[in-house]
Amino acid sequence: RQSLDRDVAEYQADVKPFVRPSDPVLEMSAHKYGPAIVSYAVHRIGTRDGNGECWTLADSALKFAKCQPAIGANFGAQVSLSQVMPGDILQFRSCKFATPMQTQMVGFPDHTAVVHSRLGPERFQVLEQNPGPVRYGEYDFSTQVEGTFIAFRALPPDGMSLDDLAKPACQAKPPPASHASVSAAHDMQAPQSASPHQPPPPPPPPPPLPVAPSRP
């Protein structure tokens, strides 16, 4: 389901696409903005960021990192899967991942996720929300059988010099999630299948043993 605001934003993305810089600038951008983007998403685990839409988490993370904000479903410069680094944004459309053990459907019509880490040549751990609050996820593109995706790299603000881009980013801590977003995330959270990165909760304690009646 897409809101009117989302449709307008996607129209703007078509009108004003980002200009792709050189590969060295893209790599510098990943080192400068990637850690802050990941840090923001990690600090939102277990809560609902903004309105709870998958797009909102990525947009908020870009704004926190002080790079160019998203324009609709355009989060920066497109990069290849082999170039993807932590803090990049993945945009899925009608994707299906299939293995002999399971089938995973993502992005109907679309889905957005923040790359946390690379687990293999085409396998990534991500941070995402909707359905449910912000959580870890995992996608192996070697098992993709349907749909399309785009990987984006955050870009520096217009006019930033290479010297400024090369400077270490400010290590500011993301602001805490509001109580409302925590409560809303608890209310909307759906049961999730266990993953190796999110161990299931411990089982409840056993019931107390019956106490034998005392003799008079």
pTM, 2 dp: 0.76
pLDDT per position as a tens digit, 187-206: 444 333 334 344 444 444 54
pLDDT 10s digits, 42-86 = 999 999 999 999 999 999 999 999 999 999 889 999 999 999 999
Residue 94: is its pLDDT beyond 90?
yes
Residue 35: pLDDT band with limits 50, 70, 90: very high
Distance, in Å, from the CA atom of 18 to the CA atom of 75, rounded to the nearest integer, reads: 8
Residue 212 pLDDT > 80, yes or no?
A: no
For the chain, list the strands marked E by DSSP.
77-79, 89-98, 103-118, 123-128, 135-140, 144-153
How big is the chain by its Cα radius of gyration, in Å?
21
Residue count (the chain): 216
